[in-house]
Amino acid sequence: MNNNVINVAIDGPAGAGKSSVAKAVAAKLGFIYVDTGALYRAIGVNALRNGVKTNDRSAVAGTLSDVKVELAFVSGVQKVLLNGEDVSVEIRTPEASMAASDVSAVPEVRDFLFDLQRNIAKENNCLMDGRDIGTVVLPDARVKIFLTASPEIRAGRRYKELIEKGSQVEFKDVLEDLIKRDYNDSHREIAPLKPAEDGIIIDTSELDFEGSVNVIINAIKEKM
């Protein structure tokens, strides 16, 4: 790795605000933002499109030979390409979220995406978020942050986001899905969701968006 490159890893459970907050932090620091969860969502969407049950490990692994997932950065904004098609909007549906949770437990999927994530980090000052960035993907990252909030707060944020996008959802269903995903992510055998031993835990339950951004930027500057 280029010793002059600075990597920041942000992990945390679903709905913690990682993507929106991390994107803003990266923009302020002039770093590339890499949403690794989007890659798993793309694999999940590909499985769904092919009629594959996303909790069927062998079936999901079988879809990888014919799939190509890429990240394109347009004016600093990340676009997710699935076999050349921009699926940046489609991967944000509730169905894609649950599919991502399923396929991320498949070792073959993690191996498939691992090199892509690491190669981006090797060549760029980047802020990468996901579930196992600080613990597995970038264990030598300069700064490791674990971003979290209470399940109710996270579900409320996700519910508001989905409603604003026109989705017809009930809060209780969003909360149930989130709790289920928390359990799946933290109890899987491969790279379970957990803070890195040398990570900084930040709870944003009582913080608004700008407050969350500022706390993370301060934490990064202290480490740098």
Q: Give 102-124 pLDDT, tens digit per residue.
A: 999 899 999 999 988 898 899 88
In the structure, what pLDDT confidence band is assigned to residue 83 with cuts at 50, 70 and 90? very high
pLDDT over 90, % of the chain: 68
> Mean of the per-residue pLDDT values for the chain?
91
pLDDT at residue number 14: 86
**Most distant CA pair in the chain: distance in Å?**
48
pLDDT at residue number 2: 58
Question: Which are the contacts of 136, defined by CB distance < 8 A and separation ≥ 6?
Answer: 191
pLDDT at residue number 76: 67
Say which DSSP state 135 is in.
I
| Residue 84 or 74, more confident | 84
Q: Cα–Cα–Cα angle for 220, 114, 137, nearest 5°?
A: 30
**E-strand stretches of 21-99:** 32-35, 69-74, 77-82, 85-86
Helix axes 18-29, 209-223, angle to 10 degrees: 50
pLDDT at residue number 161: 86
Dihedral sign (CA 174, 177, 180, 185): negative
In the structure, what pLDDT confidence band is assigned to residue 191 with cuts at 50, 70 and 90? confident
pTM exceeds 0.85, yes or no = no
Is residue 1 scored above 60 in pLDDT? no
Mean pLDDT score, 1-5 = 69
Question: Which are the contacts of 190, defined by CB distance < 8 A and separation ≥ 6?
Answer: 105, 106, 107, 110
Q: What is the pLDDT of residues 123-155, one digit of tens each?
A: 889 999 988 999 999 999 999 999 999 999 999
| Residue 73 or 175, more confident | 175
